[in-house]
Amino acid sequence: MTVELAHKAFGEDRLGREPAVVVLHGLFGSSRNWTAIAKRLSERRPVYALDLRNHGASPWSAEMGYEDMASDVAAFVEGQSLGPIVLIGHSMGGKTAMATALGRPDLIAQLIVVDIAPVDYTPDLRAYTQAMLAVDLASASTRSDVDAELQGAVPDPGIRAFLLQNIAAEDGAFTWRINLPVIDRELERLSRFPPALGGSQYAGPTAFISGGQSDYVQPSHHDAIRDVFPSAAFEAIPGAGHWVHAEAPELFIQSVERHLDVQTQRLG
């Protein structure tokens, strides 16, 4: 069953001028992480930043495969009557975007995938989910208390700050906004690209934007990518790691705008 996704909308007064942009965050993220980028992109076109299931303000579900999340995205696009869209996805959101384009190419005018490839990865984030599940939220009185409990398993303060964005305060107590038990259970499946999509292709314009310091998209992946996305173009942002849009926002926006402009010129 599909989940009705929460979203943030920017520049809706520009609907109809250019294809709407829909943005999908990565694992442990939410639409809030994309607010600054979405506002910039919305100067010329409408932008919708979604919360994927089990994240942000969207409902929780026991199922979390990429086909499930792609169905949620397709239902959102159809429900909003957006027509063919530009779909941008980062990491887990990038695989969801790819699955959406492969399953519903009629809804996608252009695909932009950020620092992920349609390949299988090692499920190496369980240390994060296990550390978050182990936090005694009932005894935490401040976010600093939660941060201190995470420090042993997550020594990088930047990553801890990112994970702590998923803390919510309700009735004087802390809770997690994300469905940690399901995410932890589904990590191995999320690390893979859905085998059911093998043999499918999306022939529309596609860009893979990666971090120059990230190892998620390697030159050795390019042939596998072109097998699925034959029109794929590749660009690496110098100095950026996996969170390209957060680490090099100006260069990232410039890259996205270039790819959008190329497609606009083609349509013109």
Residues 22 and 154 reside in one and the same domain:
no
pTM reported for the whole predicted model: 0.95
Are the C-beta atoms of 153 and 127 separated by less than 8 Å? yes
Range of the domain at 172: 126-185
Characterise 172 by phi-psi region: left (phi > 0), alpha (psi -120 to 50), beta (else). left
pLDDT at 265: 56
For residue 1, is it within any domain? no
Residues 45 and 175 reside in one and the same domain:
no
**Mean pLDDT value of segment 190-210:** 93
Residues 205 and 242 reside in one and the same domain:
yes
pLDDT digits (tens, 9 = 90+) for 15-39: 887 899 999 999 999 999 999 999 9
Q: How many CB atoms lie within 10 A of CB 1?
A: 8
What's the angle, vertex CA 18, arms to CA 6 and CA 254, rounded to 5?
Answer: 85
pLDDT at 196: 86
Residues 54 and 107 reside in one and the same domain:
yes
For residue 171, is it within any domain? yes
**Mean pLDDT value of segment 43-63:** 97
- Domain containing 115 — which CATH number? 3.40.50.1820
- Where is the domain boundary, 141, 169, 185? 185
> What's the mean pLDDT when you consider all of the chain?
94
Q: How many CB atoms lie within 10 A of CB 56?
A: 23
Residues 54 and 97 reside in one and the same domain:
yes
The percentage of the chain sitting over the pLDDT mark of 90, rounded to a whole number, equals: 88
Whether the CA torsion 103, 257, 246, 219 is positive or negative: it is: positive
**At 197, is the pLDDT very low, low, confident or very high (cuts 50, 70, 90)?**
confident
C-alpha–C-alpha distance, residues 138 and 230, integer Å: 51
Question: How many domains in the chain?
Answer: 2
**At 64, is the pLDDT very low, low, confident or very high (cuts 50, 70, 90)?**
very high
Provide the strand spans (E) within 196-231. 206-211
Confidence check: pLDDT of 266 > 80 = no
pLDDT at 172: 79
Of 90, 117, 23, the C-alpha closest to 247 is 90
Residues 63 and 79 reside in one and the same domain:
yes
Query: What angle do the packed helices 126-134 and 143-150 form, to 10 degrees?
Result: 130
Confidence check: pLDDT of 57 > 80 = yes
For residue 2, is it within any domain? no
Residues 167 and 211 reside in one and the same domain:
no
**Mean pLDDT value of segment 84-100:** 98
For residue 219, is it within any domain? yes
**At 186, is the pLDDT very low, low, confident or very high (cuts 50, 70, 90)?**
very high
Confidence check: pLDDT of 218 > 90 = yes
